[in-house]
Structure 1
Amino acid sequence: MFNWLRHVSAAVVATAIVSVAAYPGLAQAKPAFPAKADLYNVTELPVTITEQGGQLLLSDSPEMVPADGIMYQDTVSGDTRLFFHHVNATKEPKKIVVLLTNSSDQATDIIISKYGLGGPGLDYLAVGKVAQMNYLKHEEVELVEVPAGGTALLEPVLNDIVVAPDELVNGIYDFQSKIPVKVTVMMLPVDASPAEFAAKAAVLPTDSQRLRGTFPGKDRLVVPSEVYNASENGLVGITLADHKLDAFVAGIDATDGSQTLNYGNYGVVYKLFIPTAFEQKYAVYLNPRGGEYAGGMNVKYRRQELATLDTPADKLFFGVKTVTDVTHLGDYSGGESLWLTFSPPGASNLPVKILLAPAAKPK
């Protein structure tokens, strides 16, 4: 169970949460959940989990940033995801930016294939949910040119956004670079030049959670070992991000060379394939198991991208009851292709279960 420090209050975040329901089976009303279902003893559906993709840069420590400085930095090339999640814990307005430094003698284009940004805001669950929903829905490719021997901002808008005391900023960026670039996540005075500040800034110490580092395998493919049959199997679950059935990814803190563990697998994107028996209609639910949770889920059904769903749909967060809270992710026909895209949202608690159950019969 992970329950990070947070300050929750009404706040305005940088962008709005918008859900999509393109397929009638995805209506996020509250369908009848199996009345006799025992959520304390859910049979686990065996799965194979395979690490895929490039590296993940995680910058979440110190989460509560106490002073100006560098929260995380590393030099990377190739396929990379950056997940940063920081609160201005000073008493002064600040800005939180990501600087790219190219030390080579040739300019390079950073290709940003997907991103989501949330905040700044005081409602940390809302900021995390906005960042994830924006990330899941983003489809446009963007370029950032980093000159030879120069710098550029991964997200220029952050240089113009003031982060007030106690406000959180959460970003998720997928990008590629052909040559090595240094990625620096830092907090600095509002009027400071990022490049000049980075040249003199010190790396801040981690907090007790030590949630920062460079990790291999930014994506995970999850495939059940057997076909799900609703009439025979009843209620089953797939547990994610619990460090038992689904291990946390291990990496290296590039600022000091120490080993580190991504508690909660924040920034890891899961692709789940659900093989099912024909002629057996079934329902899919998300069940938080660690506490308060607010995020999103992409659904691809019959080889068509259908929706980005709020989890939960009817309120900002759920999971206060932990084991018994569920949100509906749709009813589906057996034997059809179904893919779910999931990632642990910033400020939310893990683990979670994906639940499969017989669909409720129409009354």
Structure 2
Amino acid sequence: MGKKVSLVALVALFLFAMAVPVQAQGQLQDQLVLIQKTNQMYHNGKLFKASQPLTEKKGVTYVAARSIAERLYGNVVYDSKLKEYILTTGQQELRYKAGSTAYKINGASTKLDGAPFVQQGTLMIPLRSLLKPYGMKISSNAEQKKITLDWTVKPVAAFAVSPATIYAGETEVSYIDKASHPKGLLIADERWEGQASTFDSPGAYKVTRWVQDENGVWSDPFSVNVVVKQPNLPPVANFTTDKNSYKMGEMIHYTDHSTDDENKIKKTEWTNNAKGFFTPGPQTITLKVTDTHGAVGEFSKTIMIEDETLYSKQDFDMLFTEVGDKYQIDGASVLKLPTVSYELSVVGQQTLIRSNSPEHIDEEGIYYSDTASGNVRFLTHNQNNRANPVRIYIIATNENAEEATVTEERVGVGGPAPYVSQTGKAAVGNYLFGRTQPSLNKVTKIPAGESRVVLSKLSDVKLAQDRVVTMYSDVSTSAPIKFSVVVVDADKDVLAELPHLQQLPRDGKHVRGTFHDANRNIHVLDTIGNEPARMILADKVVDSRLSGYDVTTGDIMSNDGNNGAYYVLRLYNVQPHTLILLNPRGGHYGGAFLVNNKLVYTTTTTILSNANDVGVLYRTGDSAEQVTIAFTPASGSNLPFNLLFLPLPELKY
């Protein structure tokens, strides 16, 4: 009886061995045996199960793409844009489309003997589409109902070339090894063609590599096309002036003719390129240009200044200082100018929520909170004193019984930056520019009893220690909304933290509170420009300050400087050839203005340092004009300021 059992076992083992050959140790080729109409796959003698059985349709044998890709040491991904399935292994990339008999092998199109299809969520591909790309040999045994695939798994000889830009005779070239083996075998040898540490001449070079694995199998060639450029040439600095000799106070026009072989001049630096000179004698002007590689070109030219005056320094500055630039005056003399009187009027409902206290962020918490509705403006201005980076959030809470909305109309953010004047100027400029554009109309729906983050441009800013951020923004609400200005460490979920945060006290120095009637109109009907004059703005007397409340304490608050108030100044009769200037009276000032709906910074490149600086806002032309100036006082700057109206000197030809 025992002999019979042994004989049966031996026969079974023999039949199994016939159906599924076991790969011998050290065999170089892989073998995959597929059993027809089953999901059985014997890879090098080990059983794996495919997601779908081997299927035959119209004489074509199909295999589950993802299952066989795994046996080829690869994977399958789906490109939803192109609606293609991508089978990737080593250096091979095969692209299939369900229902299409066309497929691509490494970008080259070819035809299939049948169209791929999806069966129970699995892509089925023609088995023979794999033969050519992988050099497979196929055999079948109808009696044993098996298909056998044999192929050699090759190493991949990948590499990368560094740096990306290579110059002939200059650049040391590195070759970064990215070789691999699908089966994890070691790379034992390599050979190169076209490899060089430097390339002596410009042009296109093909560098090819082969690698050999520990079993002695060589890879297919892997090539990289290397583009070698001409050696970098330094830029050539050059400029001309419209003349070689000028009177004192005569405008000099400079034309930059600098060139670079790659047209990549990164920095342009002038020395002594004044628009006009006011002492006689030679003046040497120098232009220095630097390209993206750090190469420098320099050029100097000497012009002669004659002992004859065309314009005085004061007249020259008034006539030729560009809008958005500045020049110096005698600041004390401004106080002797007659003042332009005006009256303020309130336009529309506008609530201002100003959160500027505590200005320095020392702890997490709620920095201000109040309920407002209709048109709401926010002004936040803070510096982070914490070691951890923080974010500042505007949280809108709907305490009503029905859904409410918050609509963002415009947002101006400045920072993060190290200086308050930088962020205040940038935020005002961005906010005013937003007023020249269509409204954002970004709507946030807030279900009853829930909170949402609004004005995310502010909370998108990750504020590091000692950095400042400023925001001016306008929203409208469909119902009363509780707004909270909240600060938490940058990596925290603000809505999860909100119930645990405390309302913080003021710092005793800066302003926070809710202020109504925050839009101001000024109409000046009187003629301006017949004589020098000034208009006083953002002071305590002539331009009264907004009054409001810190609702968290019940304290009456004065909005010092009227930061966040939006002014529209209409000058109905400004005489021809009138210069309009901004003159700070409280110290430095860096801000922005809309002049006839055009954004003008004070100044474009810097700030006004003190009362001896004036920034040019506008010049009227040859006829009387109506001039409209809109602004909001800039946080981080000193107030008040004056607008100056000066008749221009006559042009000389």
TM-score, with length taken from structure 2: 0.48
SS in 2 for 1:43: coil
Of 531, 536, 550 in structure 2, the residue corresponding to residue 239 of structure 1 is: 536
Shift of 1:281: 2.5
> Take 1:121 and 1:36, find their aligned partners in 2: how far apart are those partners?
30
Asked if 1:318 corresponds to 2:604, the answer is no
Tell whether the 8 Å contact from 2:411 to 2:457 is kept in structure 1 after alignment.
no
Matched with 1:350 is 639
Shift of the 29–90 alpha-carbon distance from structure 1 to 2, 3 Å rule, reads closer
Q: Letter of the aligned partner of 1:141 in structure 2?
A: L
The CA RMSD measured in Å over matched residues stands at: 2.3
Matched with 1:50 is 345
> Take 1:266 and 1:169, find their aligned partners in 2: how far apart are those partners?
15
Shift of 1:32: 8.4
Identical counterparts, % of pairs? 27
Tell whether the 8 Å contact from 1:108 to 1:179 is kept in structure 2 after alignment.
yes
Q: Letter of the aligned partner of 2:552 in structure 1?
A: T
Stretches of structure 2 lacking an aligned partner (at least 5 in a row):
1-319
Asked if 1:262 corresponds to 2:550, the answer is no
Q: How does 1:1-363 map to 2 (within 5 A)?
A: 27-28=322-323, 38-53=333-348, 54-138=350-434, 139=437, 140-143=439-442, 144-224=444-524, 226-228=526-528, 230-231=529-530, 234-276=531-573, 280-300=576-596, 305=597, 307-313=598-604, 315-319=605-609, 322-333=610-621, 334-363=623-652
> Take 1:61 and 1:33, find their aligned partners in 2: how far apart are those partners?
34
Larger Rg over CA atoms = 2
Shift of the 250–36 alpha-carbon distance from structure 1 to 2, 3 Å rule, reads closer
> Take 1:97 and 1:317, find their aligned partners in 2: how far apart are those partners?
29
Shift of the 353–149 alpha-carbon distance from structure 1 to 2, 3 Å rule, reads same
> Take 1:131 and 1:30, find their aligned partners in 2: how far apart are those partners?
19
> Take 2:321 and 2:625, find their aligned partners in 1: how far apart are those partners?
15
SS in 1 for 2:509: coil
Higher RCO by CA contacts (8 Å cutoff, separation 6 or greater): 1
> Take 2:374 and 2:361, find their aligned partners in 1: how far apart are those partners?
29
Matched residue pairs, number?
327
> Take 2:411 and 2:365, find their aligned partners in 1: how far apart are those partners?
24
Shift of 1:213: 0.4
Tell whether the 8 Å contact from 2:581 to 2:617 is kept in structure 1 after alignment.
yes
Matched with 1:15 is none
SS in 2 for 1:260: strand
Q: Letter of the aligned partner of 1:180 in structure 2?
A: P
Tell whether the 8 Å contact from 1:26 to 1:331 is kept in structure 2 after alignment.
no
Stretches of structure 1 lacking an aligned partner (at least 5 in a row):
1-24
SS in 1 for 2:343: strand
Per-residue CA deviations over 1:199-244 (Å, capped at 9, x if unaligned) read 221111111224000001111111236222x23xx11111111101
Shift of the 249–37 alpha-carbon distance from structure 1 to 2, 3 Å rule, reads closer
> Take 2:355 and 2:331, find their aligned partners in 1: how far apart are those partners?
43
> Take 2:325 and 2:369, find their aligned partners in 1: how far apart are those partners?
44
> Take 1:50 and 1:318, find their aligned partners in 2: how far apart are those partners?
29
Tell whether the 8 Å contact from 2:547 to 2:558 is kept in structure 1 after alignment.
yes
Per-residue CA deviations over 1:241-290 (Å, capped at 9, x if unaligned) read 11011111110001111111111111011110112266x32111111111
SS in 1 for 2:425: helix
> Take 2:447 and 2:419, find their aligned partners in 1: how far apart are those partners?
37
Per-residue CA deviations over 1:71-124 (Å, capped at 9, x if unaligned) read 111011011111111111222221111111112232222122222011122122
